[in-house]
Each structure stands twice: as C-alpha cells, then as structure tokens.
Chains A and B, each alone.
Chain A
Amino acid sequence: MKKTAYSFPEEVLEHVFSFIVSDKDRSSISLVCKSWYEIERWCRRKVFVGNCYAVSPPILIKRFPELRSVTLKGKPHFADFNLVPEGWGGFACPWIRAMAGAYPWLEEIRLKRMVVSDESLEIIAKSFKNFKVLVLSSCEGFTTEGLAAIAANCRNLRELDLRESEVEDLSGRWLSDFPDSYTSLESLNISCLGNEVNLLALERLVSRCPNLKTLRLNRAVPLDRLPNLLRGAPQLAELGTGAYTSEMRPDVFSNLAEAFAGCKQLKALSGFWDVLPSYLPAVYPVCSQLTSLNLSYATVQSPDLIKLVSLCEKLQKLWVLDYIEDDGLEILAASCKDLRELRVFPSDPFGLEPNVALTEQGLVSVSEGCPKLQSVLYFCRQMSNAALNTIARNRPNMTRFRLCIIEPRSPDYLTLQPLDDGFGAIVEHCKDLRRLSLSGLLTDRVFEYIGTYGKKLEMLSVAFAGDSDLGLHHVLSGCDNLRKLEIRDCPFGDKALLANAAKLETMRSLWMSSCSVSFGACKVLGQKMPRLNVEVMDESGPPDSRPESSPVEKLYVYRTVAGPRLDMPGFVWTMDDDSALRIS
C-alpha cells in the first residue's frame, strides 16, 4: 500500500508542528487539509489576536482548546494620543472570564490598550495554577489592589510588566503581598506607578529572586536606594532607574558607581527621571556593554548626553530627547556603529519656536554613520526633500520610518515645496519598509509614490495630508501588504473608501477621523460588507440627526468573524446590515 502523508500517526505530525512557531506559518499549516487543521488546532499553544473584536472568546476557545499563551490588543493605536474617548471599549473581562473556565493551564496573558479591572486580575490570580507571565501594556482600569491579588496568589509568576499602563495607585503595600517563599520573579516593570512602593519589600523581593533579569523601577524610588537594589541583583540585564537625582554627596555617588560596576550583565538602561547631570558618570562603568539606552525622560543638555552616548560603542537602541541636538547625533553616528533603532522625542512639543538646535541634519548624520539603522522615530521642526532623499539612499535597509514634523503641513523649508518627493524616495529606496508615518506638507502625489513602491508596507499613519480621494485610493489599491491604516484630518472621503471596500477585508483595521467620509457612505459600507464592523464615533449626538452627507467625526472599520460588538458606549454606532443605527 502506498504510504502517504496522512498515514503518519497524529503524534508524528504534532511533533513536527511543534517546531513551527510563527503564527503565519501555523495558519498556513492549518489550511493544508482538514486533518492538519484538526491536529494543528489541538497542539497550538500560543495565539496572537491583533484586534480583540475581530474574534470572540467562544470562537477562540472552540478552535484552540489547549492554549498556554494569549495576546490581545484592544483600542486603536490613535487612542495613545487621546483620539479615542473613554469608554470606547477593549474590555478584557469577558476574555479573562472565558479563559478562566477554558484554560486552567494558561501561563501567559499579554494585553495591549485594553481596559482591565481589578476583578479581572483577581480572576487571573485565582484561576491559573501555573500562571507565569502578565504583561499589561498601555492598559488602564485597574488599581494596586488587583496587583496585590496577583502578588499573593501567583506562585509561579515569572514576569509582571505594567509598561505604560494607567494604574490607580492606592498604596505601595501590594509588593509585600508576594510571599517570602516566592522566588521565581524574572522580570518586573512598575515604571508607570505614581506613588512609592514599599521599598523594604522591594529590596527583599529583589534579593531573594536569583533569576531576576529585568527590573524597571518607578520615579518614586529614590536614587540613594538604588545601590542596595543593584547589589541584591548583580545578575540584572535590564535596569530602569527611578528618579536620578539626590543631594549631591560624594558617598552617594561612589556607592552608586560601585553598584553599577558590579552589574556585569547589564545590557539595558532606562528611567532617568529628573537627572542630575553630575550623577550620570556613575553609569560610565557599564556603558561599554550597553545595547539599549532609554534617556527619553532625561532632561539634560547635549554635552552630558554626548559624553554618555559616546562611551556606548555596542549601542543598538537609543531613545533620547531632542536635547541631544544635531551635534550630539553626529557624535552618536561616529561612536555607535551598531545602532539599529533611534527615537528622538520633543522636549517642548507645544512651543511655537524651536528650543534646541535639532534639525533634519541630525537624522542625516545618523543615517550616514550607522549602517544598521532600520527603525527611526524622529520629532523635529524642519525637513527637506533633499535630506529625506539622502536618508533614503543611505539606508535602504530601513524598515520603520516615522517622522513627525511638529507643525502640521510644514513644507520643505529650503524650497517650500511639499515633501512628496522626499517621502517618495523613502518608499522607493527602502524596499523592506514595513511601517511609515508621514508629516509635513503633502499632496496626493506622495500617496501615489506609496501605492507604487510601498509593497511591503504594513502600517501607515497619515495626518494633515493629501488633496483628495485619489490619495486614499492610491494607498488602498497599491499597498499589497497593508494591515493597518490610520488617518486624521485629511480630505479623504466616500469615493476611495467605497471603491476599495473589498481591500478592507484584507486589513486588520482602518481609522479615519476628521476626514470627509459621510454618514451615508458608512451605512453603505456597513450594509454591503458583513464581515466588516463599521463603527462611527460621534460625541455630539447620533449621526442620523444630521443629513446623510454630513461627515462623521471618527470612523473605525475592522474585519471580524464575530459580528458587531455588543459593548459599544453611547457615542459609537455600528453600521451593520440589520439596522443602520442602534437605538440607544
């Protein structure tokens, strides 16, 4: 009898599948045939849900009965910039409840931009006996009480990471709720907490956990307590300091410098709130081994920054304020040849006039000097097509390029032309570009370039750009790999949207706010595309109280297999085919 692939026992296939880790590959495997689909779904251990409303808990649980790790993302990215009103959604509770029942062996929960309640944290704490990893990234809705439940109950917790979440900080006592017998902590990030934690409990916790590799403190941890903490964890690989300031005393300084010198494995540093420049040299002993440095809260001047950065020859990732200025970036380019990622944040984002000597030249220098530079986020106040052209030609290996020229619609400051050609050069030369954020004065032409050349582009952010629907049409019809498109304040309207309706089913989501999409078009889109959720946000009242041609405030469209969601607040209307308007 002929042996064929499907005469292998399931166990063999399962074993083979266990080497396939990437979600895309797993998905491909499951499409081969029915039996592979079945085998694969039973042995899938890890799932990533990029939009929590694209699927529902019952659907997920039905297909994947044996998960150990779940990642969920909630609100759209523009929620980071206050464009999504409170109460919009992204509630973790229904997911946590459902998983508590279905996955008693769940080990990892990672949530981003979701609303998490203390109740949810308590459910997690009590339901998963082998719970190991909790990452709450840019989440909100919980308090330190919820954290206390986690600390008290999760005996096998390895990672507790609250990065950039909004936590109602009722008391620092929760840290003491880790029992004395608890020693498995590997990663702790409490940098977002507002108030003091119990420092003694922290010190004891840190020193009894031998595998602690990542410790990111909050601002309230005073500098003079840092040496003790470091001595309790000399194996630390990543450290986020608290406030980096203290009364200037020689013994504090030498204590600190010694403690840093003892951390031979330290690779990443962050924190540095309220930096007292004279304390910066305390970290010099570890600079030569650093690969990651986040100075984006360090309000110190360029010379201090330069001295620090020029010692970090192995640096791969630098986040810094624009105090570094063009001069500093030139030194960076000369010193850090391994640099892969640069983010320069504005120290004075709302000022009308520039407060630092940071221009496009800094970015050009880095693009020239750092051959491995692939990821850039750069805030500045002037840009030119020539500079963008140079950057593009220098760095065809760029994969993420986000430029924010602070004043909307700023033209090329040399020629006063739009920046179409400059960004066009970026998409043309950087053939692997996956993420792009535009700014400055831009016409439909830049979108023509993007549609023509941005074939690998997955995420595009647009603000105050374009002339007409043609711009949007270029992007939707040209960018074959587009997954996320977010647009604000652009004259894009109905035509391009409706003409490219089918494209939206191939993307994760589309956000359009303060554009020219009419309510009528939204209704049509919702009615004609049942596998899309078309949600209109309008805080001034129901959209049908205005003419159909009126533009909607905000539009969020995403593909889903779960149908319209049922947890919308009063200012969100769904345009599905049952009823164009949900009656409130």
Chain B
Amino acid sequence: MMDESGRMGRRRSHHKFSEERELELRLGPPGEEKEEEEDCWSHHHNENKRERNSHESDQSPLSLGYFSAQRIYNFQPKASSFLQNMSMVGKESKDAISSQPCRSEVMEFHNGAVCAEKKALSSPSSANTAASNNSSQKRSAAGPVVGWPPIRSFRKNNASGSTSNSKPPLGSHHHNQHKHHHHHLNLNVEDKVANTTNKEHVNNISGSPNKGMFVKINMDGIPIGRKVDINAYDSYDKLSSVVDHLFRDLLSVQKQKQEEEEKTMILDGSGEYTLIYEDNDGDKMLVGDVPWHMFASTVKRLRVLKKSDLAALSLGGKQGHINH
C-alpha cells in the first residue's frame, strides 16, 4: 500500500502479507461465533489483554517499525482510560456498562437485565417506547455529549419549549406561543416571566436540560472563541467554574513560558477578570445581577475581560455603573 522507499517496502510487504493472511481469517461469512469476533487482528491481542505492557513489536502485523510495542497495543486500552480521552461528560456508570472492548460483557449485562424486563415488555409491534432502551433506564442523569445528537444549533434553540414529557396542547391558545423561547421577537415583560417560569418548570421536571442553548464566549487577548451551553447549568457558580476552566487552559497555552498559572476566578470578585454578557436587546450587562433563570433566557453572548477594561465599556441594564 505505501510504496515509498524500497528498504521500508520490503519490511512492510512482509508485514502486509501476514496482515492480509490474518485479515482473511477474520473476514469470514457473517454469523461467526461471537468469541472470534470479539477480538480483531490476531491472538496477540488476546495475550495483550492479559499483559498490559507487552513488548512484542515484531509480531504486530502493522508495526511498520515506527513505534514501540507499547503504543500499538495501547489502542485497545481498558474502558476507563480510553474513555478519558473522549469528550463524553458525566456518563461514568453507563460507560462501565456499555464499553466496546468488552462487548461480550455488554451482552451479558443486557441479557441479565432483560430477564426482568421481558415480562414487562408488551408485543414488539406496539409503539411501547418505554421498553425501548433499557440502557436509558440504567444510566444516571447524564450531561450532554458535545455535538450529540447531531443537530444544528439553530434547531436546538427552536425545538419545542414545552414540557419535556408532553406534546403541545391541542387547540389554538394564544398562550401556546409563549412556551417557546423567543430569541427573535420582542417580548414584553410578562412574556419574559412566563417564558422563564416555564423553563424553570421544565428543568425541574426532567432533572436535566432538555434543550441546549449555545452562546458564544470570548475572552480578551485570546483569539479562540468558544461556545457554552447555558442550559447545561443552573447557577452562576457552575457557569463561573466552567468558564474559568475553559479559559484557564487556553490562557496557560498562551502563556506557556510563564512559571505560575494565573488565577482567574471570574465571578468571585477576587480575580483579575470579570464576565459580562450581551442580552437580547443588545445591552451589555455584568453577569450576576439578575436571577439565574432570567439571565439564562436573555443572554446572547458572553465575554471575559479584565476588570481594568470595564470602565471603557458602557454597561446597560438597571445599574449603569460598575459594582466592583
């Protein structure tokens, strides 16, 4: 496949041959025993599962001579270390159940679980979605995974704002429209209150956010902007710590050469930075002045800046002045 220098080519073709042979063994017709399928390339990997740090580089079909053995076998780490590298958030208990390298374990678990479930299952043809996903009944309330499910952000923000377990009511209620989050129409105060109360209600019912609301966040001096999902948090403390974490990493990347890390606790007033936001009227406000749910329903953008730069901005909102 790779046809570059002849010296490498010979070695590679040797490995390629053995690799093809091993692959041929693998590519049998469907319906093979599960045990064979569980592992891929060769028996080497079965051995490797028993010993974590094997040094058998020459036996690996695709070693190509470039890496040490350890790295090659690293690609099938145990579930927990592999998942550390993934961007999933807060799904520990579920991951332990459904981690891929241990597929047979998954099957066993599900089989065990389903014994109890099967009695409760009605006939498969019915739209009984309650029994659909026993994994969903097993997991704890999970945080959202980045970029999953794969829908565009403008769809997330427009998705139903009504309560998570019910459909929009029949009939033509004027009231109906207020259940949705109106980014774009000018709402009067009553509408805002109805909106925010409903959102709170929704969050309480489901126990976790039922829609994502991504707003951009920028920090002065850092060209990389980010997006945060406001609906993933329910308090200023949580937002503050996420923002802090986000930019601390980026700051330390930028200032690699500096010995000490800058402490940038954003909202507790002690640090050098502070957080402001732009609401749906375009006004810039200090974060923290209004109740959380009101903030969450009106925030359009966030910005982290140095307190010393605050004076240069004109802040809107109830207080025209800077508090700290």
Contact = CB atoms under 8 A, between A and B. Distances in A.
B144 A516 contact: no
Interface string B6-21: 0000000000100100
14 contacts: A82-B146, A192-B154, A274-B182, A296-B155, A301-B168, A350-B212, A351-B206, A353-B165, A379-B149, A381-B136, A468-B101, A470-B40, A540-B253, A571-B253
Interface string B200-211: 000000111111
Given A351-B164, A488-B147, A495-B75, A549 B67 contact: yes
Contacts of A499: 1, 16, 19, 62
Interface in B246-289: 249-250, 252-254, 256
A345 B156 CA distance: 10
Per CB-CB distance, the 10 closest pairs between chain A and chain B, nearest first, are A493-B75, A382-B132, A81-B147, A278-B172, A468-B40, A549-B71, A470-B40, A86-B225, A354-B129, A495-B62
A549 B162 contact: no
B152 interface: yes
Contact of A219 (B85, B110, B155, B185): B185
Given A404-B150, A468-B39, A501-B2, A194 B184 contact: yes
A516 B100 contact: no
Interface string A386-409: 000000000000000000101111
Contacts of B111: 416
Interface in B46-85: 60-62, 64, 66-68, 70-72, 74-77, 82, 85
A80 B151 CA distance: 8
A381 B167 contact: no
Contact of A416 (B85, B107, B223): B107
Contacts of A539: 224, 249-250, 253
A443 B180 CA distance: 40
Contacts of A501: 1-2
B315 interface: no
Contacts of A243: 185
A192 B184 CA distance: 11
Given A467-B40, A467-B100, A516-B75, A410 B135 contact: yes
A541 B135 CA distance: 35
Given A81-B148, A353-B136, A357-B129, A466 B100 contact: yes
Nearest to B158: A297
A270 to B, nearest CB: 13
B227 A82 contact: yes
Contacts of A42: none
A352 B66 contact: no
B253 A498 contact: no
A277 B176 CA distance: 10
B149 A349 contact: yes
- Of the candidates A297, A326, A379, A494, the one having the most CB atoms from chain B within 10 angstroms of its own CB is A494
A420 to B, nearest CB: 8
Contacts of A420: 30
A87 B223 contact: yes
A38 interface: no
Interface in B119-178: 124-125, 127, 129-136, 141-142, 144-156, 158-160, 162, 164-168, 170-172, 174, 176-177
A214 interface: no
Interface of A: 78, 80-83, 85-87, 164, 192, 194-195, 218-220, 243, 245, 247-248, 273-274, 276-279, 296-297, 299-303, 321, 323, 325-326, 345-359, 361, 379, 381-382, 384, 404, 406-411, 413-414, 416-418, 420-421, 424, 437, 441, 443-445, 448-449, 461, 463, 466-470, 473, 488-489, 491, 493-495, 498-503, 513-514, 516, 518, 520-521, 524, 528, 539-542, 548-549, 551, 553, 569-571
A411 B135 CA distance: 9
B87 A489 contact: yes
Contacts of A384: 124
B26 interface: yes
Nearest to B62: A495
Give the interface residue-count category, chain B.
35 or more
Contacts of A549: 67-68, 70-71, 74
A407 B133 contact: yes
A418 B171 CA distance: 42
Contact of A570 (B68, B224, B252): B224
Contacts of A468: 39-41, 45, 75-76, 101
Contacts of A354: 129-130, 132
B129 A467 contact: no
Contacts of B295: none
B98 interface: yes
Nearest to A550: B85
B87 to A, nearest CB: 5
A539 to B, nearest CB: 7
A418 B106 CA distance: 10
B148 A408 contact: yes
Contacts of B66: 498, 520-521, 524
Contact of A413 (B64, B132, B162, B166): B132
Nearest to A222: B185
Nearest to A463: B148
Contact of A491 (B100, B142, B164): B100
A21 B163 CA distance: 51
Contacts of B62: 494-495, 498-499
B261 to A, nearest CB: 13
Contacts of A379: 149, 151
B172 A248 contact: yes
Nearest to B71: A549
B174 A247 contact: yes
